Amino acid sequence: MYYGIEIILIFVLGLIVGSFSNVCIYRIPRNESIIFPASHCPKCRSNISPKDNIPLLSYILLKGKCRNCKSKISIQYPVVEFLSGLIYLIIYLIYGLSAQTLIYIILSSALVIIAFIDLNEQIVPDVISLPGIVIGFIISFFVTYISSINSALGVLVGGGIILIIGMAGSVIFKKEAMGGGDVKLAAMIGAFLGWKYIVISLFLGFFVGALAGIFLIMSKIKSREDVVPFGPFIVLGSFITLLWGEKIISWYIGF
Protein backbone atom coordinates (compact mmCIF):
# COMPACT_ATOMS: atom_id res chain seq x y z
CA MET A 1 0.00 0.00 0.00
CA TYR A 2 1.20 3.49 -0.83
CA TYR A 3 0.17 5.00 2.48
CA GLY A 4 1.36 3.42 5.70
CA ILE A 5 1.87 4.47 9.27
CA GLU A 6 1.71 8.19 8.44
CA ILE A 7 -2.03 8.14 7.80
CA ILE A 8 -2.56 6.78 11.32
CA LEU A 9 -0.20 9.41 12.71
CA ILE A 10 -1.96 12.28 10.94
CA PHE A 11 -5.35 11.00 12.14
CA VAL A 12 -4.08 10.77 15.73
CA LEU A 13 -2.58 14.27 15.41
CA GLY A 14 -6.04 15.47 14.36
CA LEU A 15 -7.60 13.75 17.38
CA ILE A 16 -5.12 15.40 19.77
CA VAL A 17 -5.55 18.86 18.25
CA GLY A 18 -9.31 18.24 18.28
CA SER A 19 -9.10 17.58 22.00
CA PHE A 20 -7.34 20.92 22.48
CA SER A 21 -9.92 22.55 20.17
CA ASN A 22 -12.62 21.44 22.63
CA VAL A 23 -10.84 23.41 25.35
CA CYS A 24 -10.75 26.48 23.07
CA ILE A 25 -14.43 26.10 22.11
CA TYR A 26 -15.43 26.08 25.77
CA ARG A 27 -13.05 28.71 27.12
CA ILE A 28 -12.61 31.38 24.42
CA PRO A 29 -16.22 32.70 24.65
CA ARG A 30 -15.81 32.76 28.46
CA ASN A 31 -12.58 34.77 28.18
CA GLU A 32 -10.73 32.03 30.09
CA SER A 33 -7.12 31.05 29.51
CA ILE A 34 -6.82 28.15 27.09
CA ILE A 35 -3.70 26.85 28.89
CA PHE A 36 -4.41 27.15 32.63
CA PRO A 37 -5.94 25.52 34.59
CA ALA A 38 -5.77 21.90 33.43
CA SER A 39 -8.90 20.26 32.04
CA HIS A 40 -11.66 19.88 34.58
CA CYS A 41 -15.28 18.77 34.59
CA PRO A 42 -17.48 21.84 33.95
CA LYS A 43 -20.02 20.52 36.50
CA CYS A 44 -18.06 19.35 39.54
CA ARG A 45 -14.75 21.12 38.67
CA SER A 46 -12.74 17.98 39.46
CA ASN A 47 -9.54 17.64 37.45
CA ILE A 48 -9.58 15.21 34.54
CA SER A 49 -6.66 12.81 34.79
CA PRO A 50 -4.59 12.15 31.66
CA LYS A 51 -6.01 8.64 31.35
CA ASP A 52 -9.53 10.09 31.21
CA ASN A 53 -8.44 12.69 28.68
CA ILE A 54 -7.57 10.44 25.74
CA PRO A 55 -9.36 11.68 22.60
CA LEU A 56 -12.38 9.55 21.58
CA LEU A 57 -11.31 6.58 23.69
CA SER A 58 -11.97 8.11 27.12
CA TYR A 59 -15.45 9.21 26.09
CA ILE A 60 -16.27 5.64 25.07
CA LEU A 61 -14.68 4.05 28.16
CA LEU A 62 -16.42 6.49 30.51
CA LYS A 63 -19.69 5.98 28.59
CA GLY A 64 -19.94 9.76 28.18
CA LYS A 65 -20.00 10.50 31.92
CA CYS A 66 -17.66 12.31 34.30
CA ARG A 67 -15.76 9.75 36.44
CA ASN A 68 -16.31 11.81 39.57
CA CYS A 69 -19.86 13.23 39.44
CA LYS A 70 -21.32 11.04 36.66
CA SER A 71 -22.79 14.07 34.89
CA LYS A 72 -23.11 13.74 31.13
CA ILE A 73 -20.20 14.84 28.94
CA SER A 74 -21.40 16.61 25.78
CA ILE A 75 -21.28 14.46 22.63
CA GLN A 76 -19.65 17.54 21.09
CA TYR A 77 -16.30 16.52 22.60
CA PRO A 78 -15.83 13.24 20.70
CA VAL A 79 -17.51 14.75 17.61
CA VAL A 80 -14.97 17.61 17.44
CA GLU A 81 -12.11 15.15 18.00
CA PHE A 82 -13.27 12.74 15.32
CA LEU A 83 -14.03 15.55 12.84
CA SER A 84 -10.54 16.99 13.33
CA GLY A 85 -8.92 13.60 12.80
CA LEU A 86 -10.97 13.01 9.68
CA ILE A 87 -10.29 16.44 8.17
CA TYR A 88 -6.55 16.13 8.86
CA LEU A 89 -6.53 12.73 7.20
CA ILE A 90 -8.37 13.87 4.05
CA ILE A 91 -6.17 16.98 3.73
CA TYR A 92 -3.08 14.78 3.97
CA LEU A 93 -4.41 12.29 1.42
CA ILE A 94 -5.04 15.12 -1.06
CA TYR A 95 -2.04 17.42 -0.50
CA GLY A 96 0.57 14.94 0.81
CA LEU A 97 3.58 15.94 2.85
CA SER A 98 3.63 19.64 1.95
CA ALA A 99 3.47 23.17 3.31
CA GLN A 100 -0.07 23.32 1.97
CA THR A 101 -1.09 20.39 4.19
CA LEU A 102 0.48 22.01 7.24
CA ILE A 103 -1.24 25.35 6.63
CA TYR A 104 -4.58 23.76 5.77
CA ILE A 105 -4.67 21.62 8.91
CA ILE A 106 -3.95 24.68 11.06
CA LEU A 107 -6.63 26.64 9.18
CA SER A 108 -9.12 23.80 9.50
CA SER A 109 -8.63 23.59 13.27
CA ALA A 110 -9.18 27.34 13.59
CA LEU A 111 -12.35 26.97 11.52
CA VAL A 112 -13.64 24.01 13.58
CA ILE A 113 -13.18 26.10 16.74
CA ILE A 114 -14.98 29.08 15.17
CA ALA A 115 -17.85 26.94 13.84
CA PHE A 116 -18.58 25.31 17.19
CA ILE A 117 -18.29 28.56 19.15
CA ASP A 118 -20.76 30.09 16.68
CA LEU A 119 -23.10 27.10 17.05
CA ASN A 120 -23.01 27.33 20.84
CA GLU A 121 -22.86 31.07 21.44
CA GLN A 122 -23.84 32.72 18.13
CA ILE A 123 -20.58 34.65 17.96
CA VAL A 124 -17.54 34.45 15.72
CA PRO A 125 -14.59 35.19 18.01
CA ASP A 126 -12.48 38.14 16.80
CA VAL A 127 -9.48 36.70 18.63
CA ILE A 128 -9.27 34.05 15.90
CA SER A 129 -10.70 35.72 12.79
CA LEU A 130 -8.78 39.02 12.93
CA PRO A 131 -5.29 37.53 13.42
CA GLY A 132 -6.38 34.88 10.89
CA ILE A 133 -6.81 37.52 8.18
CA VAL A 134 -3.30 38.88 8.80
CA ILE A 135 -1.66 35.45 9.11
CA GLY A 136 -3.34 34.15 5.94
CA PHE A 137 -2.08 37.18 4.01
CA ILE A 138 1.48 36.94 5.38
CA ILE A 139 1.66 33.21 4.57
CA SER A 140 0.79 33.95 0.92
CA PHE A 141 4.22 35.62 0.53
CA PHE A 142 6.00 32.38 1.43
CA VAL A 143 4.05 29.70 -0.43
CA THR A 144 3.62 28.90 -4.09
CA TYR A 145 0.01 27.73 -4.21
CA ILE A 146 -1.50 31.17 -3.54
CA SER A 147 -0.21 34.60 -4.60
CA SER A 148 -0.37 37.56 -2.22
CA ILE A 149 -2.58 39.42 -4.71
CA ASN A 150 -5.00 36.48 -4.70
CA SER A 151 -4.93 36.42 -0.89
CA ALA A 152 -5.65 40.17 -0.65
CA LEU A 153 -8.46 39.81 -3.20
CA GLY A 154 -9.80 36.91 -1.15
CA VAL A 155 -10.05 39.15 1.92
CA LEU A 156 -11.86 41.87 -0.02
CA VAL A 157 -14.18 39.59 -2.00
CA GLY A 158 -15.00 37.35 0.99
CA GLY A 159 -15.65 40.16 3.45
CA GLY A 160 -17.32 42.27 0.73
CA ILE A 161 -19.86 39.62 -0.32
CA ILE A 162 -21.02 39.04 3.26
CA LEU A 163 -21.07 42.78 3.96
CA ILE A 164 -23.27 43.51 0.93
CA ILE A 165 -25.61 40.55 1.55
CA GLY A 166 -25.80 41.48 5.22
CA MET A 167 -26.76 45.08 4.38
CA ALA A 168 -29.30 43.98 1.77
CA GLY A 169 -30.71 41.47 4.25
CA SER A 170 -31.14 44.03 7.01
CA VAL A 171 -32.96 46.36 4.59
CA ILE A 172 -35.27 43.60 3.28
CA PHE A 173 -35.93 41.68 6.50
CA LYS A 174 -35.56 44.66 8.87
CA LYS A 175 -33.27 42.62 11.12
CA GLU A 176 -29.61 41.73 11.16
CA ALA A 177 -29.22 38.80 8.80
CA MET A 178 -25.48 38.42 9.06
CA GLY A 179 -23.21 39.87 11.71
CA GLY A 180 -19.84 41.57 11.46
CA GLY A 181 -18.37 38.31 12.75
CA ASP A 182 -19.35 36.59 9.51
CA VAL A 183 -17.66 39.37 7.49
CA LYS A 184 -14.38 38.82 9.34
CA LEU A 185 -14.70 35.04 9.06
CA ALA A 186 -15.22 35.21 5.28
CA ALA A 187 -12.29 37.64 4.99
CA MET A 188 -10.08 35.23 6.96
CA ILE A 189 -10.97 32.24 4.77
CA GLY A 190 -10.45 34.44 1.69
CA ALA A 191 -6.95 35.31 2.91
CA PHE A 192 -6.03 31.61 3.03
CA LEU A 193 -7.88 30.33 -0.03
CA GLY A 194 -7.97 33.27 -2.47
CA TRP A 195 -10.84 34.96 -4.26
CA LYS A 196 -12.11 32.07 -6.41
CA TYR A 197 -12.25 29.61 -3.54
CA ILE A 198 -13.94 32.03 -1.17
CA VAL A 199 -16.67 32.67 -3.76
CA ILE A 200 -17.24 28.91 -4.06
CA SER A 201 -17.09 28.50 -0.25
CA LEU A 202 -19.72 31.16 0.32
CA PHE A 203 -21.96 29.85 -2.46
CA LEU A 204 -21.85 26.35 -0.96
CA GLY A 205 -22.38 27.84 2.50
CA PHE A 206 -25.50 29.72 1.37
CA PHE A 207 -26.80 26.68 -0.48
CA VAL A 208 -26.39 24.24 2.42
CA GLY A 209 -27.49 26.91 4.90
CA ALA A 210 -30.70 27.53 2.94
CA LEU A 211 -31.45 23.80 2.75
CA ALA A 212 -30.78 23.42 6.49
CA GLY A 213 -32.95 26.46 7.25
CA ILE A 214 -35.86 25.08 5.22
CA PHE A 215 -35.48 21.70 6.92
CA LEU A 216 -35.33 23.22 10.43
CA ILE A 217 -38.42 25.37 9.85
CA MET A 218 -40.45 22.62 8.15
CA SER A 219 -39.60 20.09 10.86
CA LYS A 220 -40.56 22.79 13.42
CA ILE A 221 -37.19 22.49 15.20
CA LYS A 222 -36.76 26.23 14.65
CA SER A 223 -39.27 28.95 13.90
CA ARG A 224 -38.88 31.64 11.24
CA GLU A 225 -37.91 34.13 13.95
CA ASP A 226 -35.08 32.02 15.38
CA VAL A 227 -31.52 32.95 14.58
CA VAL A 228 -29.55 30.23 12.84
CA PRO A 229 -25.83 31.06 12.93
CA PHE A 230 -24.34 31.29 9.46
CA GLY A 231 -20.68 30.83 10.47
CA PRO A 232 -20.84 27.01 10.58
CA PHE A 233 -22.17 26.96 7.01
CA ILE A 234 -19.40 29.25 5.76
CA VAL A 235 -16.93 26.89 7.45
CA LEU A 236 -18.58 23.83 5.91
CA GLY A 237 -18.49 25.45 2.46
CA SER A 238 -14.83 26.31 2.88
CA PHE A 239 -13.96 22.73 3.93
CA ILE A 240 -15.61 21.32 0.82
CA THR A 241 -13.77 23.94 -1.25
CA LEU A 242 -10.31 23.52 0.25
CA LEU A 243 -10.59 19.77 -0.26
CA TRP A 244 -12.26 19.60 -3.67
CA GLY A 245 -12.09 23.16 -5.06
CA GLU A 246 -10.12 22.20 -8.19
CA LYS A 247 -12.61 19.44 -8.99
CA ILE A 248 -15.53 21.86 -8.53
CA ILE A 249 -13.90 24.47 -10.79
CA SER A 250 -13.10 22.00 -13.59
CA TRP A 251 -16.59 20.53 -13.33
CA TYR A 252 -18.05 24.03 -13.63
CA ILE A 253 -15.84 24.95 -16.60
CA GLY A 254 -16.87 21.67 -18.26
CA PHE A 255 -20.40 22.96 -18.73
**Contact set with Zn ion (CB under 5 A):** 41, 43-44, 66, 68-69
Nearest approach in angstroms of CB 170 to Zn ion is: 43
Name the minimum Å distance from CB 51 to Zn ion. 15
3-state helix/strand/coil string of the chain: CCCCHHHHHHHHHHHHHHHHHHHHHHHHHHCCCCCCCCCECCCCCCECCHHHCCCCHHHHHCCCECCCCCCECCCHHHHHHHHHHHHHHHHHHHHCCCHHHHHHHHHHHHHHHHHHHHHHHCCCCHHHHHHHHHHHHHHCCCCCCCCHHHHHHHHHHHHHHHHHHHHHHHHHHCCCCCCHHHHHHHHHHHHHHHHHHHHHHHHHHHHHHHHHHHHHHHCCCCCCCCCCCCHHHHHHHHHHHHHHHHHHHHHHHCC
CB of 46 to Zn ion, least distance (A): 5
Task: Identify whether the C-beta of residue 115 lies closer than 8 Å to the C-beta of residue 231.
Answer: yes
**Cβ proximity to Zn ion, 43 vs 51, nearer residue:** 43
Under 8 Å between Cβ of 116 and 80:
yes
Smallest distance, Zn ion to C-beta of residue 213, A: 36
Q: Considering beta carbons, is residue 65 or 247 the nearer one to Zn ion?
A: 65
Between 69 and 167, CB nearer to Zn ion:
69
Shortest Cβ 67–Zn ion spacing (Å): 7
Nearer to Zn ion, 49 or 170 (CB): 49
Instruction: Pick between residue 62 and residue 135 the one whose CB is nearest to Zn ion.
Output: 62
In this complex, which beta carbon is closest to Zn ion, that of residue 44 or of residue 221? Answer: 44
**How near is the Cβ of 62 to Zn ion at its closest, in Å?**
10
In terms of CB distance, is 38 or 164 closer to Zn ion?
A: 38
CB of 112 to Zn ion, least distance (A): 25
Distance, in Å, from the CA atom of 185 to the CA atom of 219, rounded to the nearest integer, reads 29
